[in-house]
Structure 1
Amino acid sequence: MPHSVNVPTQFNQLPHAGVIPRLISLIYDALIVAGLWMVYGFFAMLVASTFGGLNCQPDQLDYNPCVSGPLYQLGLALVTVSYFIWSWRVAGQTIGMRAWRLMVANSNGMQLSWYQCVIRALVGPVSVACFGLGYLWGYFRADRASWHDLASDSEVRQLPKKKKEKKL
């Protein structure tokens, strides 16, 4: 059952996030995902070379037998999708969204369900793969919704800046 643990109480009064901050936060997240891919690749190579009986050639810098093929690619996709789904479900934000003060929730201002997160994760790459048209769609809508927002019944809002406390 969805709940609003991390979602601000006035979520629906916050302004809709613009296309540019959303794309920039996606670039931040791409850097995080690249790091996760490196960790995954290290462990995949370690497991494959130790237990898989594959013929890795580190002295010739040929790691293809250890970390290539459809199983490895599937693992990369699962790492990527898991990062986004977990971030949206648990915190309503990825690391890139946090840096740009963006938050995602459903249209009622409640935390996304697992189903909504999966739909966002599946439609999001399509939004990017079509030359970014899924994101640019937001320029033509008052609510700035992209294709994956519409498909998952979710909204991305811009959080206010935190006020700095004056020191005495």
Structure 2
Amino acid sequence: MSTTPLPAPAWRRFAAIVYDVLAVVAIVMVVGLIAQMVTGGHIADDKGHIVAWWYQPLQAIVVGAYFLLSWIRGGQTLGMRPWRIRVVTREGNAVDIRRGLLRLIVAGLPVLLLMLYAVASLQVALWAPLAGWAVILLPSLFDARHRGLHDMAAGTEIRPLAI
């Protein structure tokens, strides 16, 4: 008989993703407001093109920091807390910065698909990252430990909290 705890059920992991999307939207809005205040409202030109070169990298750094710090300091994002799940190593230990960064990089790769906007429509550029995340999460439906590609690469998994 195996003593390895069962992975968190898929419905709890996907519910946490929905909650985290709301948290990320809030983070992006706050960073956007602060950037607007710093630039006097001149982040974009009259056509809506971003002119502050640092704005999008700043958004990526702040959102990435939210996930990384959440994973290495307690193993839970805001979205994971109500569903009582957390990220741990295969052995059940806390995620260290190396594993957290690797998990973040792999999970964040679909964001690069937003660059399709330069050669395709805005609609394609917005749907492409969603398709990328579906590809990253698809193995979790078939893997015995319910791991996505980002968890496989980082050697992590999502487990329910012990009661």
Q: TM-score, normalised by structure 1?
A: 0.73
- The secondary structure found in structure 1 opposite 2:145 is coil
Unmatched 5+ stretches in structure 2: 111-129
Taking a change above 3 Å as real, the CA distance of residues 24 and 126 of structure 1, as seen in their structure-2 partners, is: farther
Quote the Cα distance in structure 2 between the aligned partners of 1:90 and 1:96.
14
Q: Give a deviation string over 1:28-76, Cα, whole Å, max 9, x none.
A: 0111111111111111111122xxxxx74xxxxxx62499344211111
Q: Distance in 2 between the 1:15 and 1:134 partners? A: 21
Distance 2:93 2:44 in 1: 45
Gaps of 5+ in 1: 1-11, 50-54, 57-62, 163-168
User: 1:131 and 1:39 mapped to 2: Cα distance?
Assistant: 24
CA RMSD of aligned residues (A): 2.3
Partner Cα separation in structure 1 for residue 149 and residue 18 of structure 2: 18
1:99 aligns with 2:82: yes
1:115 alignment partner, SS class: helix
Q: How many residues align?
A: 139
Q: Which has the larger radius of gyration?
A: 1
Q: Secondary structure at the match of 2:50?
A: coil
State yes or no: 1:17 paired with 2:17. no
1:47 to 28, 38, 48: 38
Point out which structure has higher relative CO (alpha carbons under 8 A, 6+ apart). Answer: 1
Q: Secondary structure at the match of 1:95?
A: coil
Correspondence for 2:132: 130
Identity %: 29
- 8 Å contact from structure 2 (residues 102, 150) kept in 1: yes
Q: 1:41 touches 1:67 (CA, 8 Å); kept in 2? A: no
Find the residue that maps to 2:54 and give its secondary structure.
Answer: helix
Residues 107 and 133, structure 2, Cα contact 8 Å, conserved in 1: no
**Structure 2: which amino acid aligns with 1:64?**
A
Q: Is the 8 A contact 1:44 1:67 kept in 2?
A: no
| Cα contact 1:48–1:67 (8 A) shared by 2 | no
State the one-letter code of the partner of 1:74: P
1:140 to 93, 117, 142: 142
Residues 98/67 of structure 1: CA separation in 2 closer, same or farther (3 Å cut) = farther
Q: Is 2:102 aligned against 1:119?
A: yes
What is the CA-CA distance between 1:140 and the residue it aligns to? 1.1
- Counterpart code for 2:86: M
Secondary structure of the 1:125 match is helix
Which of 59, 63, 67 in structure 2 is aligned with 1:76? Answer: 59
Give the structure 1 partner of residue 154 of structure 2: 152
Correspondence for 2:44 among 40, 64, 85: 64
CA distance in 1, matches of 2:58, 2:70: 18
